[in-house]
Amino acid sequence: MKNILLLLCAIVTLPAFSSESVNIYSYRQAYLIEPVVERFTKDTGIKVNVLFAKKGLAERLQREGKHTKADLVLTTDISRLMELTDRKLTQGLDNKVINSNIPAHLRDPDNQWFALTTRVRNVYASKERIGKIDIRYEDLADEKFRGKICTRSGKHPYTIALVSSMISHHGLESAKTWLEGVKANLARKPQGNDRAQVKAINEGLCDVSLGNSYYFGKMLSDKKQKTWADSVHILFPNQKDRGAHINVSGMALTKHAPNKAAAIKLMEYLSSDSAQQIYAEVNMEYPVKSSVKQAPLVASWGQFKSDQLAMDKIATNRQQAIKLIDEVKFDL
Amino acid sequence: MYQNLSRKWLVVCWLIALVLVSPIAALVWQSFADDQAIFSHLWQTVLPDYILNSILVTFGVIVLTSLIGIPCAWIVAMYDFPMRKTFIWLLLLPLAIPSYVVAYVYTDLLECAGPIQSLMRGFLGIESGVGGCLYEIRSIGSAILILSLVLFPYTYLLARAAFMEQSASLIKSARVMGCNSWQSFYRVSLPLARPAIVIGITLVAMETLADFAVVKYFAVSTLTTAVYDTWLGYGDLTAAARISSLMLVFIFILIAIEKLGHQKRKYYQKSTGQSNDARKQLSGREALIVLSFLILVFTASFLFPFLTLAKYAIEYFEQSWNNQFLEYSFNSLFVAILVSLICLFIGLLLAYFKRLSVAKSSAIPGKLSSTGYALPGTVLAIGVLVPLTLLDYKINDIFEYFELPAPGLIFSGSLFAIVFAYVVRFSAISVGAIESSLTKVSPSIDMVSATMGISPLKRMFKIHLPLVKKGLLAATTLVFIESMKELPAALLLRPFGFETLATHVYQFVSDEQLELAALSAIVIVFVGLIPVILLNRFLEQGR
């Protein structure tokens, strides 16, 4: 019996003995990570396997428990990072290199997760019909925008995070009034992605929309979408008070990471100048490492003041935010 | 027809059914846990709207797919006209295009900001701008239309097989007795084809209920939306499982209603099939009308989306070409072939068990193993993880007991998980299609062979299989194509380093970047098409 099991064991674990590698569960599309990862493999010889899915990776990680093959999880917003931490699927990592690269307010106090880039939830406004104005998220509920706002689904993590930050700043009741106001101002039922809203502005269906900043850069570099982007200004909201709402993409080391040493090397690399530079230039995001320059295009949109609300606050109010969105039937 | 089967049949069939239903059972079990009042919150806010939307979409798709599928099947089975043989397989092609691709293509074309509406506004002199939207493409109506365009081949394929397997003498008798075309269709062919059509409609309904991509794209919130919201938004699998269970109830009600309708009636026929001389030659004008209808259906459901894809693929060729296409295709093919063979085997076994067993409960294994089809893919994938990880942990415990190094996740961490999930999801197709084929075979055949002392297994291979081989082939092809396109389970359950064509496409589609996904989508269509064409060669043999 023992011999048979030993043989089975050898067959099953055989591939694991090949060269060093890191396995990533990623909420972010594999093709967006590729440029960074390729560089890392070239420099270190460590192979990186990326498994992308938008849903359910946390469940899979939890069910796999101590036998998981995943070392690292990459996410595109703070709530997913906190979900991993709350479910106790991550482990803390007190690493000098990473700590010096990533400012304290952009990582977990217990070092369970680390932000890699920040992205701002900005307003896109029609050049023709709105122009460069000072705008606050609060204004979106104002009657002057009746029938003029386009946005993606209320259930999208980016929208939820924004609503959650409104709850943190104004309390549940005011946030609800605000959300009802925004809903009343919508030009159409929430639909499509952030780019689709800019496209709609270009077509004149609405005047303002909400979107993440890097999409602006991506649209400008796409032959078809450039016209859309050319029709809008990118506006950073709430510059005269608390600053624009930001979210992060980030990473976390899994609790049972089988290739921990290699994974830490990768994490160090992801926070380094070289990787942050690629993130900044290829994906048009804001690097977390302050010494890394923004891409020239991104820098040309101007500097902005960002909301200093602690990241974990946004995740804490998440449930409340979704309940609000359901209550006002935002998507219906 | 009935007899006491040996114990082995009983044990094997029930065992298969229980294994296949285990992921769903895990979800139902989960639904009884405490959900912190999220379900009741949903119930008080959005759930009634979601349920209504689900019913509307499902009902609409059932009606529309029947209106497209059944006439198409009837036309090609009963009439002769130019290009008939070509249309027989052209009408199957829509199966090969993933539904989200069709949705994307049409939205791009027809939305407020799209070229058609812009053109119409210019033509009508309407100001673009606020209120300038002539119609809203992202709506329930569009969701119904797109889902119907993609799903009608199910009804078409099953109904056509049924019409073609119908005895020519019956139609001739009907004609002799003075029935016109419509009457022979309505009074003879349709009742005979009913089991097959019902199976087709049930599959369509289940697929519609489980759809997430299309309804999400059209901003229609359904029960599937609720499942994902509760699970991903509220982080609560229990409430999600509860809503999934609600969907299962929905399906059982559908099936029960249908059962009530034709409980007592049973039709059998001698399986000589439609011979050429019975097919009525259409006159020039009739042929023109029929052809226009078929061309319209084919263009809307396949040609236009496909050409749009081709255009994108050419424009974005450099950005989307990938050296690993061959590997992805091989992976997709491998899984799809494996799954269709397993489903064929399971379908045969369960459908025969139902036919041959004397026990009243003999229909249950087939029904049980069909439930997986109505669940949204990702939820099913989570359900699959539950029993598989449990099993893996038990295995690892045994290894630890013998003080051996743990083998890790043999089942849940390997290809086994994907194959298992697909089989759970798609055995509904093979069980349904094979059952419907078998219902047409007269029980007297069974009785005769039983009196001659032929064993059930031998009877299955020697007598029934040749009679229903077309149904089997149709079933296997449907499973194959579905497996080629399947996305959510593959996405979540695949092992590291394993990409299929569908998972590769999804990276881009998930960001609404169809242009970059077009090339790989075309590869899916082509790899999925080959069996469709082969199937038809076979169906048409000797015709």
CB-based contact B14:B363 (threshold 8 Å):
no
Closest by alpha carbon to B162, among B274, B264, B259?
A: B274
CB-based contact A237:A135 (threshold 8 Å):
yes
Q: What is the pLDDT of residues B160-200, one digit of tens each?
A: 888 887 766 777 777 777 777 778 777 778 888 888 888 88
Helix A318-327 to helix A157-185 angle (10° resolution) is 30
pLDDT above 60 for B244: yes
More confident residue, B507 or B330: B330
Q: What is the pLDDT of residues A124-140, one digit of tens each?
A: 999 999 999 999 999 99
CA distance B390 to chain A (A): 9
Q: Is A31 on the interface with B (CB under 8 A)?
A: yes
Closest by alpha carbon to A158, among A190, A201, A134, A111?
A: A190
Q: Is B25 on the interface with A (CB under 8 A)?
A: no
Pairing of strands A246-253, A113-126: antiparallel
Q: What is the pLDDT of residues B295-323, one digit of tens each?
A: 999 999 999 999 999 999 998 888 778 77
CA distance B128 to chain A (A): 6
Contact B136 A8 (CB under 8 A): no
Q: Find chain A residues with C-beta within 8 A of B112's C-beta.
A: 188, 200, 203, 205
Contact A189 B219 (CB under 8 A): yes
Closest by alpha carbon to B218, among B62, B93, B108, B380?
A: B108
CB-based contact B119:B35 (threshold 8 Å):
no
Superfamily of domain B48-310 in CATH is MetI-like (1.10.3720.10)
In 10 A of CB B178, how many CB atoms? 8
Q: Is B133 on the interface with A (CB under 8 A)?
A: yes
- Residue partners of B524: CB distance under 8 A and separation at least 6: B96, B98, B332, B484, B485, B501, B502, B505
CA distance A4 to chain B (A): 11
Closest by alpha carbon to A61, among B34, B493, B227?
A: B493
Note whether ipTM > 0.85 here: no
Contact A189 B136 (CB under 8 A): yes
CB-based contact A213:A174 (threshold 8 Å):
no
CA distance B67 to chain A (A): 29
Q: Which residue of chain B is at minimal alpha-carbon distance from A47? A: B497
How does DSSP classify residue B299? I
Q: Find chain A residues with C-beta within 8 A of B136's C-beta.
A: 188-189
Measured distance CA(B77)–CA(B84) in Å, rounded: 9
Q: Is B466 on the interface with A (CB under 8 A)?
A: no
- Check if B1-30+341-501 and B48-310 are the same fold: yes
pLDDT above 90 for B272: no
For the entire predicted model, the pTM comes to 0.86
Closest by alpha carbon to A313, among A166, A180, A210, A173?
A: A166
Q: Find chain A residues with C-beta within 8 A of B228's C-beta.
A: 55
pLDDT above 50 for B542: no
Q: How many residues does chain B have?
A: 543
Token pair listed for A239: 């510059």
pLDDT above 70 for A4: no
* Residue B98, pLDDT score: 85
CA distance A309 to chain B (A): 21
CA distance B429 to chain A (A): 26
Q: Torsions phi, psi of B357, nearest 5?
A: -80, 150
Token pair listed for B405: 């190094």
Place A17 in a pLDDT band, splitting at 50, 70 and 90.
very low
Q: Which of B107, B232, B316, B385 to mutate to test the interface with A (most CBs of A within 10 A)?
A: B232
Radius of gyration of chain B (CA): 24
Mean pLDDT of all residues belonging to chain B: 84
- In chain B, pLDDT over 70 holds for what percent of residues? 92
Which of A6, A160, A206 shows the shortest C-beta gap to B130? A206
Q: Is B314 on the interface with A (CB under 8 A)?
A: no
Q: Which of A6, A14, A47, A205 to mutate to test the interface with B (most CBs of B within 10 A)?
A: A205
Helix B501-509 to helix B514-540 angle (10° resolution) is 140
- Residue partners of B156: CB distance under 8 A and separation at least 6: B68, B69, B70, B72, B73, B91, B92, B200
Contact A204 B133 (CB under 8 A): no
CB-based contact B217:B201 (threshold 8 Å):
no
Measured distance CA(B115)–CA(B118) in Å, rounded: 5
* Residue B308, pLDDT score: 92
Contact A6 B404 (CB under 8 A): yes
Handedness of CA B527, B532, B533, B534 (dihedral sign): positive
Which of B46, B216, B507 shows the shortest C-beta gap to A31? B507
Place B459 in a pLDDT band, splitting at 50, 70 and 90.
confident
Closest by alpha carbon to A308, among A237, A214, A245, A239?
A: A245
Contact B413 A64 (CB under 8 A): yes
The secondary structure of B17-52, three-state, reads HHHHHHHHHHHHHHCCCCCCCHHHHHHHCCHHHHHH
CA distance A100 to chain B (A): 32
Q: Find chain B residues with C-beta within 8 A of A190's C-beta.
A: 219
C-alpha distances (whole Å) from B389 to each of A69, A255, B331, B493 are 13, 17, 23, 12
Contact A12 B392 (CB under 8 A): no
| Mean of pLDDT values over B385-413 | 90
All structural domains of chain A, each given as residue ranges with its CATH number in brackets, are: 20-118+247-292 (3.40.190.10), 120-245+305-327 (3.40.190.10)
Q: Is B496 on the interface with A (CB under 8 A)?
A: yes
Q: Is B515 on the interface with A (CB under 8 A)?
A: yes
Q: Find chain A residues with C-beta within 8 A of B233's C-beta.
A: 155, 160, 318, 322
Closest by alpha carbon to B517, among B337, B343, B305?
A: B305
Size of interface A-B (CB pairs under 8 A): 153
Contact B129 A205 (CB under 8 A): yes
Measured distance CA(B382)–CA(B400) in Å, rounded: 26
How does DSSP classify residue B281? E
* Residue B278, pLDDT score: 64
* Residue A2, pLDDT score: 57
| Mean of pLDDT values over A246-269 | 96
Torsion over CA of B163, B165, B169 and B175, rounded to 10 degrees? 0
Which of B138, B495, B496 shows the shortest C-beta gap to A189? B138
Domain ranges of chain B: 1-30+341-501, 48-310
Q: Is B194 on the interface with A (CB under 8 A)?
A: no
Measured distance CA(B390)–CA(B29) in Å, rounded: 15
Q: Which residue of chain B is at minimal alpha-carbon distance from A200? A: B113
Q: What is the pLDDT of residues B85-99, one digit of tens each?
A: 889 888 988 988 888
Torsion over CA of B171, B175, B181 and B185, rounded to 10 degrees? -40
Q: How many residues does chain A have?
A: 332
Q: Find chain B residues with C-beta within 8 A of A57's C-beta.
A: 492
Q: Is B46 on the interface with A (CB under 8 A)?
A: yes
DSSP B220-280: ---HHHHHHIIIIIS--HHHHHHHHHHHHHHHHHHHHHHHHHTSS----B-TT---GGGSE
Q: Find chain B residues with C-beta within 8 A of A59's C-beta.
A: 237, 382, 385
Which of A53, A191, A329 shows the shortest C-beta gap to B492? A53
| Mean of pLDDT values over A259-283 | 93
- The DSSP bridge partners found for residue A126 are A232
Contact A59 B385 (CB under 8 A): yes
Q: Is A49 on the interface with B (CB under 8 A)?
A: yes
- Residue partners of B258: CB distance under 8 A and separation at least 6: B198, B202
Q: Is B321 on the interface with A (CB under 8 A)?
A: no
C-alpha distances (whole Å) from B533 to each of B88, B302, B466 are 10, 15, 21
Q: Torsions phi, psi of B328, nearest 5?
A: -60, -45
**If DSSP codes are grouped into helix, strand and coil, which group holds residue B474?**
helix
Query: CA triplet A9, A11, A17: central angle to 5 degrees?
Result: 90
- Residue partners of B88: CB distance under 8 A and separation at least 6: B76, B160, B536, B539, B540
Q: What is the pLDDT of residues A183-215, one digit of tens each?
A: 999 998 898 889 999 998 998 889 999 999 999
Measured distance CA(B404)–CA(B400) in Å, rounded: 6
Contact A5 B234 (CB under 8 A): no
CA A127 from chain centre, in angstroms, equals 27
CATH T-level fold of B1-30+341-501: MetI-like fold (1.10.3720)
Which of A6, A59, A326 shows the shortest C-beta gap to B382? A59
pLDDT above 90 for B30: no
**If DSSP codes are grouped into helix, strand and coil, which group holds residue B495?**
coil
Contact B129 A204 (CB under 8 A): yes
Which of A8, A64, A205 shows the shortest C-beta gap to B112? A205
- The DSSP bridge partners found for residue A117 are A249, A287
Residues 131-170 of A with CB under 8 A from B: 147-148, 153, 155, 160
Place B541 in a pLDDT band, splitting at 50, 70 and 90.
low
Q: Which residue has the tokens 């469709």?
A: B532
- The DSSP bridge partners found for residue A209 are A124, A150
Measured distance CA(B541)–CA(B536) in Å, rounded: 8
Measured distance CA(A146)–CA(B251) in Å, rounded: 42
Token pair listed for B497: 């380093």
Q: Looking at this protein, which amino acid is placed at residue B24? A: I
Which of A55, A67, A199 shows the shortest C-beta gap to B409? A67
Closest by alpha carbon to A151, among A109, A110, A197?
A: A197
Residues 84-123 of B with CB under 8 A from A: 112-113, 118
Place A14 in a pLDDT band, splitting at 50, 70 and 90.
very low
Contact A329 B46 (CB under 8 A): yes
The secondary structure of chain A, three-state, reads CHHHHHHHHHHHHHHHHCCCEEEEEECCCHHHHHHHHHHHHHHHCCEEEEEECCCCHHHHHHHHHHHCCCCEEEECCHHHHHHHHHCCCECCCCCHHHHHHCCHHHECCCCCEEEEEEEEEEEEEECCCCCCCCCCHHHHHCHHHCCCEECCCCCCHHHHHHHHHHHHHHHHHHHHHHHHHHHHHECCCCCCCHHHHHHHHHCCCCCEEEEEHHHHHHHHCCCCCHHHHHCEEEECCCCCCCCECEEEEEEEEECCCCCHHHHHHHHHHHCCHHHHHHHHHHCCCEECCCCCCCCHHHHCCCCCCECCCCHHHHHHCHHHHHHHHHHCCCCC
Token pair listed for A201: 């502005």
Q: Is B409 on the interface with A (CB under 8 A)?
A: yes
